[in-house]
Amino acid sequence: MDCATSNHNSLLGLSFLTNHMSEEFIVGSKVRVVALPPYIKTADPMPMLRPPDVIQLGEEGIVLDRRPGGYWGVRFSRGAFLIDSQYIESVDKLPENHDV
C-alpha cells in the first residue's frame, strides 16, 4: 500500500468517526427533544432515574452544561435533566435543504 492510499484510507476513517461523534451544543443554547430515551436522569448532585414522560417529544430546553459520557444538562419545563446528545438537536440548526 503506497503512502497516498494509506492517507486516503486514514482520512476516510476520520470522516466516519467525525460523522458519528456526539453533537456539541453551546451552553445557554436552545435544544429540542427529537426522540425519547427509555428513561431520563435528573441533573441533581445525585441523579435519579425518572420515566421518559417527564419530558415531551418536541419540547425545547436550555443547555446548562456538558457532562461525561455524552450527556448534557438541560433545563426543561419540569426540571433539569441529563440527556444523551442523540436525543436532542439544536433549535438554531438550519434545515438541510435550506438554501443560503
Q: Report pLDDT digits (tens) over 63-85.
A: 999 999 889 999 999 999 999 99
C-alpha count within 13 angstroms, C-beta hemisphere, residue 79: 14
Average pLDDT over residues 19-42: 86
For the domain spanning 25-100, the CATH number is 2.30.30.40
The pLDDT-based confidence of 92 (bands split at 50, 70, 90) is: confident
CB atoms within 10 A of CB 77: 10
Say whether pTM exceeds 0.75: no
Question: Which residues are bridge partners to 65 per DSSP?
Answer: 73
Return the pLDDT at 22. Answer: 57
